[in-house]
Amino acid sequence: MPDSENKALQAKVKREMTGPAEQTRPGPTFTPAVDIFETDEEITLMADMPGVKAKDLDIDLRENVLTLIGEVASPEGPNEVDVWREYQTGKYFREFSLSEIIDQAKIDAELRDGVLRLRLPKVEAATPRKITVKAG
Amino acid sequence: MIVRRLTDWPTWHWRSPFEEVEGMRRKMDRLSEGLTGGVLRGPIAGVFPLVNVTEDSHSYYCRAELPGMKADDLDIAVTGNSLSIAGERKITDEDKNASYHRREREAGKFSRMISLSDHVDTGKVEARCVDGVLTVVLPKAESAKPRQITIKTS
């Protein structure tokens, strides 16, 4: 991103999710910031999920709904007390409905330094089918 | 950037006369948190990255969420009584043919100063960056650690 050069990063409060469904477990749920881009072959999703380990990340795709759930263990030790708090930690949740048909077998996910990179390859375009209307 | 460093608010101190007021404010926040079901939030300095500071009897712990950043990309320094965290978050350019649908992640440079009390053992400060979370451990100087006093019976 050329426009980002020499630009100072602004602090942002993590977006907290508000949904109609209540959580069964207490604690805040955050919406991770994502980049989504598409080429002819695939859709790529990048999500910032700091504090999530690969084993605690759950990616689910069914009926064209992609769900990302990342659990975050509290980073603080048991004897630590707050001196100053500017951000909260909690689980990440985000859902997308995909308009493209995804080749489930070729999905590839990589989580590195708290950033998820999810490749969703498109299914090769189905051959167009011509429907002949019978005259009755 | 220099102006920003100088005016970098809040320049709070752990042993300040306002500590009591601060403690009261935190208690009030906790109370309102209980009432609204909301989240306890400290005042936001507006300087990236947002930090949390905790302490135990041995050390202070300063944490910040820096997804995608490695320890090598960060410039962490403890000089005198301040901790500085600086670096640049880069987001690599993708395929030129890719069309973006969403672009929420941000890149850019950052620099933040956090004032410490002078009771920190600057020589033993350790920093690590795991899963995009930076943790700086600042061991308290011997003089600042709480000490159990045994009462002699005569």
Residue A54 near residue A75, CB atoms below 8 Å: no
- Alpha carbon distance, N-terminus to C-terminus of chain A: 60
Cross-chain residue pair A8–B48, CB shorter than 8 Å: yes
B154 lies in some domain: no
Per-residue pLDDT, averaged over A103-109, amounts to 89
* Structure confidence at residue B72 (pLDDT): 82
Q: Per-residue pLDDT for A127 more than 90?
A: no
pLDDT at B39: 38
Neighbours of B110 (CB within 10 A): 21
**pLDDT tier at A92, thresholds 50, 70, 90:** very high
C-alpha closest to that of A11 among B85, B20, B14: B85
Domain that residue B27 falls in: 2-144
User: Is the pLDDT confidence value at A74 over 60?
Assistant: yes
Q: Which residues of B touch A38 (CB under 8 A)?
A: 98-99, 101
Sign of CA dihedral A48, B111, A16, B19: positive
Domains of chain A: residue spans and CATH: 28-76+86-117 (2.60.40.790)
B85 found inside a domain:
yes
Instruction: Please state, in angstroms and as integers, the Cα–Cα distance from residue B149 to each residue in B57, B66, B145, B146, B152, following that order.
Output: 15, 41, 12, 9, 9
Residue ranges in chain B modelled with pLDDT below 70: 1-19, 28-46, 80, 117-118
Please indicate if any CB of chain A lies within 8 Å of the CB of B82.
no
Of B44, B57, B67, the CB nearest to A13: B44
Query: Does B51 sit within 8 Å of A86, measured CB to CB?
Result: yes
Name the least confident of A2-16, A47-61, A107-121: A2-16
Task: Tell me the pairing of strands A57-62 and B108-115.
Answer: unpaired
**Mean local confidence (pLDDT), A106-129:** 85
Which of A4-13, A71-80, B125-134 is the least confident region?
A4-13
The H or E element that residue B30 is part of is helix B19-36
Place of tokens 């019976």: B153
Q: Do B101 and A37 touch (CB under 8 A)?
A: yes
Check CB contact of B63 with chain A, cutoff 8 Å.
yes
Which residue of chain B comes nearest to A35, CA vs CA? B103
pLDDT at A22 over 70: no
Dihedral angle of Cα B66, B134, A118, A94, to the nearest 10 degrees:
-70
Chain B residues within an 8 Å CB radius of A7: 107-109
CATH number, domain of B61, equals 2.60.40.790
- Inside any domain, residue B112: yes
Residue B150 located in a structural domain? no
A22-39: average pLDDT? 85
Total domains in the fold of chain B:
1
Is B153 a member of any domain? no
CA distance linking residue B16 with residue B12, whole number of Å: 8
A11: closest chain B residue by CA: B48
Q: Is the entire prediction scored with pTM above 0.80?
A: no
**B126 Cβ contact list (under 8 Å, min separation 6):** B136, B137
Residue B149 lies in a domain: no
Would you say B132 and B69 are in contact if contact means Cβ atoms under 8 Å apart? yes
| Residue to substitute from B54, B69, B95, interface A, most A β-carbons within 10 A | B54
pLDDT value at residue A70: 94
pLDDT band at A63 (very low <50, low <70, confident <90, very high): confident
pLDDT digits (tens, 9 = 90+) for A32-61: 999 999 988 889 999 999 999 999 999 999
Q: Tell me the percentage of chain A whose pLDDT exceeds 70.
A: 87
Q: What is the mean pLDDT of residues A96-101?
A: 84
